[in-house]
Amino acid sequence: MSFWKSLFGGGSSGSADEGKPSAPVEYNGFTIRAAPYKAEGQYQTAGVITKDVGGVTKEHKFIRADRHASLDDAVEFSLAKARQIVDQQGERMFS
């Protein structure tokens, strides 16, 4: 199967900026990091939301269908989406 992925552009390009989380951003007591990754020639919206709850670090990973032509656009959108998730769900996202 990996042969077909590489043949049709589905394989990893080995780019250094793929899947690396952005610098952490504090928002309403949560720490958010954008982590877009390359998919079909564009960057997929993705990230991680963390918060210390009772001395335990809780983590929520998210991936959305939105794709962007540039890494910078994907990072900004991923951070905005993470803020939206925090506003809508708060600590309920960890249960």
Which domains, and CATH codes, for the chain? Answer: 2-94 (3.30.160.350)
Does pLDDT of 48 surpass 50? yes
Residue 9: pLDDT band with limits 50, 70, 90: low
What CA–CA distance (Å, rounded) separates 30 from 2?
38
pLDDT for res 21: 77
Does pLDDT of 37 surpass 70? yes
- Model's pTM, two decimal places? 0.78
Residue 45: pLDDT band with limits 50, 70, 90: very high
Among 80, 75, 68, 63, which Cα is nearest to 34's? 75
